[in-house]
Structure 1
Amino acid sequence: MAQLQNGYSNKKQLDIVVVGAGLVGSLEALYLAKRGHRVRLYEFREDIRKTPTARGRSINLALSVRGRRALKDVGLETHMIKEHGIPMTGRRIHRTDGSTYVIPYDANTKQCIYSVGRNYLNSLLLQESEKYDNVERYFNHKLIESNLKKGSLTFQRTDTNEQVHVTADLIIGADGAFSAVRKAMMKRPFFDFSQKYIEHGYLELCIPADDNGSFQMPANYLHIWPRGEFMMIALPNQDASWTVTLFMPFSKFKNLDTEEKLIAFFEKYFPDSIPLIGKDKLVEDFFAGSPSPLVAIKCRPYNVEDKALIIGDAAHAVVPFYGQGMNAGFEDCSLLDELFQKHNDNLVEILNEFSDTRWEDTFAISDLAMYNYIEMRDLVTRPSYRLRKAMDDFIFWLLPNFWVPLYNSVTFSTMPYSRCIKNREWQDQVLKKTWSFFGVAALIGGAVALKLKHFV
């Protein structure tokens, strides 16, 4: 038995229900299974391994250090990095004249992020759970009623309409941004909740492989077409295609209501992408769907006593512009596992500490993600941005243990997100004082020079 092999046979086995068999729910099931607990995984949708295209559109995922750490804990990091992930070493910026330039993510230590397929990773996590006899999977189960304080749930099978009643020692809601478990929490007093829809939506397009089955652009980059108020990005796929995502205000999407307007818009702002996508395919894909909204969610507390907990997007959905949504959700699982170890599976202590400490960092990454959209669509084109990045990279090279740039701390470390922000604020103050000092020194030097010249 898997739980015996992992050395937890002498501990009390908890009965845990995880709602949501997406990325975070499937990963959390693996963590709990490794600890020897009984896990029942319930999912509203069908098994993604049987109908991998049924989930609809989704933004590609960027796997970085926090997510890699979690995958390493369950034995899947090497496979994802070596067998599936495509390394992206920096941003390749596309100008309107078709020329490009590169902004490395980490010019000093050469770290990179990895483009991974959402469906592939989800399927891999579910497949791994098949190795544990203490994990049960139930698909096509819609949560319709909850009594979180009592640890009871009622599901309705979407294929038969049968109602299924379950109870558990612990309920973990990993059921996404529109979480049914969180909805039940919102009925309780002292639950704080806010959501923010940004005025920009996204629509996915595709750059296919060329006739030889190869990439049409340099593969090891996140390609960005920054245009101030809007932008387009492209991430590489395993089949040499590119998932292209256009982020733009809904009002601009609405104005592109004819083929002629769409082509004229792309010829003006993204001319080099037209031959890559193909004019006919561009028109077909653009008008085949509609732009999707982007929402950020903040809430707390994450737990109901020792009976229920929400993690991942259910607890802290963020906009995708820092590539940290999945990574932050996976980090939830890593931190929870540490707390299970620290508190010897005592649910009261585990859930209270997680809820009391995690919110500050998830609020921080939500704010960082909002800021990074402005950086990606606009600031990357400004000389001031490139100058600051060059300074950060130089000081980081000179004093790597003293000065870690914001992007590096968020993406290539496990520094708490809130500390990443505080670290950046401290760096801003240091640079401000440095510039002030040199400015004053220059003024004094100029005055002295003039005085000396007068006496001469």
Structure 2
Amino acid sequence: MRQNHISILGAGLIGSLLSIYLKRKGYAVEVFEKRSDGRLVDLDSGRSINMALSDRGWRALYELGIADEVKQYCIPMKGRMIHPEAGQTNFQPYGKDDQAIYSIPRGKFNQLLVSKAEAEGVQFHFESKCEEIDIDQRIMHFADGRKLHSDVIIGSDGAYSALRRAMQLTDRFDYKQEFINSGYKELTIPATASGDYALDPHALHIWPRGSYMLIALPNLDKSFTCTLFMPFEGDISFKTIHEKKIARHFFEVHFPDAISLITDFDREFYENPTSSLINIACYPWVKNRCLLIGDSSHAMVPFYGQGMNCGFEDCYVLDKLLEEHNHNWDVAFEAFQKRRKPDADAICQLAMDNFVEMRDLVANEKWVIRKKLEAKLYHFYPQEWIPLYTMVTFSDLRYSEAYALGQLQDRIMQEVMKDPLIMENWDRIDLEHIINKLHQLKAKTELV
């Protein structure tokens, strides 16, 4: 029997996009959101107002034919601009000349997707907080007393999902959450007096400082949203620099070129919240035609810029599986969770690994040489050696496959970088020898 009524919890980016996919398949789709309509009320306070859109996300948008409308809100970032504590900035391209990730404001993006979904006939119910779900009966209990039944319930309601909370009360449901020891605080670099960008807008700016870092992404209004990532506690932490004067002095010492551009530093540092970062893993994602998707099933830290892109890819994959299995929800949902769970685990791990890379390694001279060597391998052997970042960000290769291949490449590069003369001779390394070693490792691990 084909179920016709679908309820989606959460009108964020993932839920709104998924509603368009499902509505176009002829289903009756309703979306329930606990917050107010973001088109009428500013909801960005305390949340990152920048997202990094890359190839996986674009693929989902192109599939729906709405990519061109999204592009009007995007700013391409072609690489990282590294700001050392002492010395000149240096630019590290993400990939080839035509490869970029795109900074897009969360609020504008979400508003566009909601409006597009409404135009398709999706019904949105804002200020509708779902407090309980009877999974056996698929009945949703709302804070205002409403009880609604649905043929299918999909939880895209984020890291603190009501649907996942209900699933946690069922038998044989695995769940793990982990707050990392670092949090974040947002600050702003406004446009200059002449109305221009204060920094290069076509780069993601990073001030790497070991256990902490500052990043900045461009906005359409010529400002930058800065995010300070730092441990909550310790010698250098939010706990030790919580006072305005101490915080200002800290920035003057460690981020001198940034503090001069953050014109409202004292107020923002004091008033803007310090927020936590969480990883969530769970399984199964499906019970009685109730499905978890996006952050509800695999919340990750933001350091690979793949949270939204991964969620969009969830929507794309689910859409294809529904077609493949002739809209049999039970079969399609089972195929979906089995396919996406390994990929979700892989990208969550990659995001944590990239945190270390961004804060500790990007300013390290030996690391920079390694990346140049990998770029050279990619240039001369584009089919055999694809850098991990390129596989994750600029391809649709499964995250799990990219992670496995990246592990092999890392083993080889660690060995190469042990050469005491590597700093002087990296551009004369025998590239073919490296490629042969990769083939041998792939053969041993059956990654062919």
Q: Which deviates further from its counterpart, 421-430 or 342-351?
A: 421-430
The residue identity in structure 1 corresponding to 2:387 is: P
SS of equivalent to 1:427: helix
- Structure 2 counterparts to residues 245-284 of structure 1, below 5 A: 245-251=227-233, 252-278=237-263, 281-284=264-267
Counterpart in the other structure of 1:446: none
Find the aligned partners of 1:377 and 1:118 in 2 and give their Cα distance. 24
- Structure 2 counterparts to residues 26-425 of structure 1, below 5 A: 26-53=16-43, 56-58=46-48, 60-81=50-71, 83-97=72-86, 99-106=88-95, 108-133=96-121, 135-156=122-143, 162-251=144-233, 252-278=237-263, 281-305=264-288, 307-425=289-407
Find the aligned partners of 2:325 and 2:259 in 1 and give their Cα distance. 56
Contact 2:49–2:107 (CA under 8 A) maintained in structure 1: no
Contact 2:8–2:153 (CA under 8 A) maintained in structure 1: yes
Contact 1:149–1:308 (CA under 8 A) maintained in structure 2: no
Contact 2:370–2:413 (CA under 8 A) maintained in structure 1: no
Per-residue CA deviations over 1:222-272 (Å, capped at 9, x if unaligned) read 000000010000000000000000000112111113332112101110001
Find the aligned partners of 2:364 and 2:44 in 1 and give their Cα distance. 41
Counterpart in the other structure of 2:440: none
How far residue 78 of structure 1 moved from its aligned partner, in angstroms, is 1.6
Find the aligned partners of 1:430 and 1:341 in 2 and give their Cα distance. 41
The residue identity in structure 1 corresponding to 2:35 is: R
The residue identity in structure 1 corresponding to 2:130 is: L
The residue identity in structure 2 corresponding to 1:286 is: F
Per-residue CA deviations over 1:54-95 (Å, capped at 9, x if unaligned) read 6542252100001111111222212222x1100000000001
Find the aligned partners of 2:2 and 2:330 in 1 and give their Cα distance. 15
Find the aligned partners of 2:211 and 2:27 in 1 and give their Cα distance. 49
Q: Which has the higher helix share?
A: 1
Find the aligned partners of 2:305 and 2:48 in 1 and give their Cα distance. 13
Find the aligned partners of 1:235 and 1:60 in 2 and give their Cα distance. 7
Contact 1:16–1:170 (CA under 8 A) maintained in structure 2: yes
The residue identity in structure 2 corresponding to 1:132 is: E
Contact 2:20–2:117 (CA under 8 A) maintained in structure 1: yes
How far residue 289 of structure 1 moved from its aligned partner, in angstroms, is 2.8
How far residue 311 of structure 1 moved from its aligned partner, in angstroms, is 0.4
Q: Which deviates further from its counterpart, 351-360 or 252-261?
A: 252-261
Find the aligned partners of 1:434 and 1:378 in 2 and give their Cα distance. 20
Per-residue CA deviations over 1:326-376 (Å, capped at 9, x if unaligned) read 001111100000101100100111111111221111011111000101000
Find the aligned partners of 2:63 and 2:200 in 1 and give their Cα distance. 32
SS of equivalent to 1:248: strand
Indicate how the Cα distance of structure 1 residues 435 and 314 shifts in structure 2: closer, same or farther if over 3 A, else same: closer
The residue identity in structure 2 corresponding to 1:88 is: M
How far residue 434 of structure 1 moved from its aligned partner, in angstroms, is 6.8
Indicate how the Cα distance of structure 1 residues 146 and 100 shifts in structure 2: closer, same or farther if over 3 A, else same: same
Find the aligned partners of 1:99 and 1:147 in 2 and give their Cα distance. 59
Find the aligned partners of 1:110 and 1:168 in 2 and give their Cα distance. 45
SS of equivalent to 1:219: coil
How far residue 432 of structure 1 moved from its aligned partner, in angstroms, is 6.0
SS of equivalent to 1:362: helix
Structure 1's unaligned 5+ residue stretches are 1-10, 157-161, 442-456
The residue identity in structure 2 corresponding to 1:272 is: D
Find the aligned partners of 1:394 and 1:71 in 2 and give their Cα distance. 32
How far residue 382 of structure 1 moved from its aligned partner, in angstroms, is 1.3
Contact 1:48–1:55 (CA under 8 A) maintained in structure 2: no
Counterpart in the other structure of 1:5: none
Contact 1:176–1:313 (CA under 8 A) maintained in structure 2: yes
Alpha carbon RMSD of aligned pairs, Å?
Answer: 1.8
What count of residue pairs does the alignment treat as equivalent?
A: 418
Find the aligned partners of 1:25 and 1:91 in 2 and give their Cα distance. 30
Contact 2:46–2:273 (CA under 8 A) maintained in structure 1: no
Q: Which deviates further from its counterpart, 44-53 or 315-324?
A: 44-53
Contact 2:56–2:310 (CA under 8 A) maintained in structure 1: yes
Counterpart in the other structure of 2:14: 24
Q: Greater Rg, structure 1 or structure 2?
A: 1
Indicate how the Cα distance of structure 1 residues 153 and 55 shifts in structure 2: closer, same or farther if over 3 A, else same: farther
